[in-house]
A = this chain, B = another copy of it.
Amino acid sequence: MMRGCSRTRLTQNQGTAVCMTNCPTLIVTVGLPARGKTYISKKLTRYLNWIGVPTREFNVGQYRREFVKIYKSFEFFRPDNEEGLKIRRQCASAALNDVRQYLTEEGGQVAVFDATNTTRERRETIVQFAEQNGFKVFFVESVCEDPDVIQENIVQVKLGSPDYTNCNTDEAVEDFLKRIKCYENSYETLDEVLDRDLSYIKIMDVGQRFLVNRVLDHIQSRIVYYLMNIHITPRSIYLCRHGESELNVNGRIGGDSGLTPRGKAFGKKLSQFIQTQGISDLKVWTSQMKRTIQTAEALDVPYEQWKVLNEIDAGVCEEMMYEEIQDHYPLEFALRDQDKYRYRYPKGESYEDLVQRLEPVIMELERQENVLVVCHQAVMRCLLAYFLDKTAEELPYLKCPLHTVLKLTPVAYGCKVESISLNVDAVNTHRERPENVEVSRMSKEALLTVPAHQ
């Protein structure tokens, strides 16, 4: 739980900055090509940003692609290619420079330096860079010798790389395998003895085994926990809201009402949909509110209730219509429109609070395989934002209509989304941000974007 740690100014002292309690962290990947370093970097970055830790990844390969416009072949990576080595060193330096800027001037808290970093010498350079700037360093190494995993990796993410747009599959695979060979001779894996003073996690065989050394602080502990819970087994996550509820139809927020007849019809359609998906071993999760439980009951399969999946608590505004909120709390209503993510209803919650309480759900979703989560509008927006890497600004306005299932399937470095409407009519509950969010605005302007209701 990142509780809004305050940043402390660094004092420069003989070329080594003093590392304060909340000094930035530099995560450094280590490993041969096609070991999942970029996959891990992007996923970790997405997770940290979602829980509120400003994080950015710096992929050295991308710097190289910008510098060397056209990739010719694996020869560029030959250890005896002086020109290639020079360019690669320059790219790494440029990336580290951007890292420094991000962490010291742009408010970044974590930077992920994504490159092979396979020699002890290179890693020592990075450690010194971090020491000079007062950054903590945490290495994440991925070690894998399973040829099937490496092949699948190449097929999933390398074939589509800009490096291989003009090659056919066999040519690309052959070249990439030779590229990997260029690194193998000089590869120095993190060693229990030689690297005993470094902080790192070594991930072996795609998460079957881990070696963890010198975890120094809270963020490193959370990173380790996250990395130990993710997997790459193909699966799908289904997100949907409860069926239409009585309060929905009346334009009221929150509460704990039951389903309307249309909402119940959605439950039946959902059941049919799930069966057509033919998923083995689907887990079904709901909140502890009537409307999600009633929806899941229609599926006639076991389901688990999570209190933390309950809808955002609207505090004093619970069960009100937007018109009533404007009437009783016009100031609050305007403040919410100004910063919907951080705004907390009096005696209630904010989206930011919601993300904090949903973190265990995300962690368990990472551990699981096929899961259907029957939840609520604000909750679904938070979960969706995690999977689709949406910002805090976008999150509260993500469209999650009733009676629509979102099927999320991890692919390459991201998530494929399929939106499946189950063709049961429902009221629209999505209120767009109005143009005028001023505290002094008129009722009409405040209520301009309220969706129609009874």
Contact = CB atoms under 8 A, between A and B. Distances in A.
Interface of A: 1, 3, 192, 196, 208-215, 217-218, 221, 224-225, 228-229, 304-308, 318, 347, 353, 356-357, 360, 364, 367
Nearest to A209: B213
Given A211-B210, A212-B209, A1 B308 contact: yes
Given A209-B192, A307-B356, A221 B229 contact: yes
A403 B357 CA distance: 31
A403 to B, nearest CB: 27
Q: Count this chain's copies in the assembly.
A: 2
Contact of A212 (B210, B214, B304, B356): B210
A23 to B, nearest CB: 16
Nearest to A281: B21
A390 B217 CA distance: 29
B224 A228 contact: yes
B212 A305 contact: no
Contacts of A318: 347
Given A211-B212, A212-B228, A307-B356, 12 more contacts: A1-B308, A1-B364, A3-B306, A196-B209, A210-B211, A211-B211, A212-B212, A217-B367, A221-B225, A225-B225, A307-B353, A308-B356
Contact of A1 (B210, B211, B306): B306
A214 B221 contact: no
B208 A304 contact: no
A305 B308 CA distance: 21
Contact of A221 (B213, B215, B353, B367): B367
Contacts of A228: 212, 215, 221, 224-225
A324 to B, nearest CB: 18
A21 to B, nearest CB: 9
A221 B363 CA distance: 10
A286 to B, nearest CB: 11
A342 to B, nearest CB: 12
A304 B218 contact: no
A306 to B, nearest CB: 6
A215 B229 CA distance: 9
27 contacts: A1-B306, A1-B308, A1-B360, A1-B364, A3-B305, A192-B209, A208-B213, A208-B214, A209-B212, A209-B213, A210-B210, A210-B211, A210-B212, A211-B211, A211-B212, A212-B228, A215-B228, A217-B367, A218-B364, A218-B367, A221-B225, A221-B228, A221-B229, A225-B225, A225-B228, A318-B347, A357-B357
